[in-house]
Structure 1
């Protein structure tokens, strides 16, 4: 369906609805000829909708039982039925327009980006991060306990292979920390997640990464017990920074 054509048709149908409603409220009677002209207009609009939506909704017909005993005017129940048909058609068309709008918005969202911002409850990411095919995001606890694994394990391996890397606490900004992390995860090619210590913030980042479908390498030290929910997922276990470096070089090569 053409989005603009649907919106234009919705406007035409609403105009007919308003015209019928105003006329019937301001007149004591709706004459037969007037009602017949409304049916002709309705069926013309219905033809447009059928063509746009590839449907075959039946035309509305004119029947003698729609008329009063004099046959010159239309029954009030007939006008109510007619307005109800128009209202139903408007709702159906608006539903189609909304579905089409969401489909168009979905197409504009790049594959590496969030479908919906979970903080602002809007479609897509307002920051619109650009994909960086050589960047790897590193998710790990902000703790001195794991600095050696980063400085002497992860960084040397990535530098040796020519990868850029990003760790959130290495960049001081006034951005919301979660937005900063989410932006960088969207932009990166791959993510290395250190689940050592089972830090809840790292677990949240891991959920975002899986939701975005990013390639992931999970690492953990030997002191951290494996999580049962990750039992079937491969991970790298290391005993010291040098061990981690060598295993990452092999995994990324």
Structure 2
């Protein structure tokens, strides 16, 4: 890092982009992931330099970044390539609500606005606590969250926690602790046996087809299918471990739970 706070930041996932905008530090961003859509104006304000598991290294280098922000082991090869080019890389790996809040606080400190980041994170904590308090004492519907359809993959930890905060009960809480998607693969029989009251689906950028879910063999016995309670949650709202999940993503879950 040539300067502190860094003046030229490239964000290779959406949640750090949104966080920097919320902290009023968007002028520091010089490049973003192709999946960055929050806030909407980022799509016309910042050059796109990466997908999720691939990046245009020459394009990133041409931006002369002081810092590149990455996420998870899935971007490890990108991080290594940039490190070999002499770029400072900071990798996040948040997989639960506490990790999201820690990322916000850490990123705020990294760009010199720790007080703003603390206020932002504390505001989210208060909101989450308020929603959880309103759900307390109510009947908790069983919720199956589907992150992908072929193969079927259940929700990751932060999604499971947000379902619980909203007043639901994750159908597969034991799987949510598994960080890798391959470790959260389900069989159709497991879902049928879990008898979820509500099905939430977010197919990681692919449009959800509720009718295809309902038509799966044997699924007509599932309460969620019988009662027409299959809901799509758009992936930018819930599958990015950042502010979107804590706000609009959680709101979408609350709406689905009714």
Decide: shared fold, TM above 0.5.
no
- By percentage of residues, which structure has more helix? 1
Q: TM-score, normalised by structure 1?
A: 0.29
Q: Normalising by structure 2, what TM-score?
A: 0.28
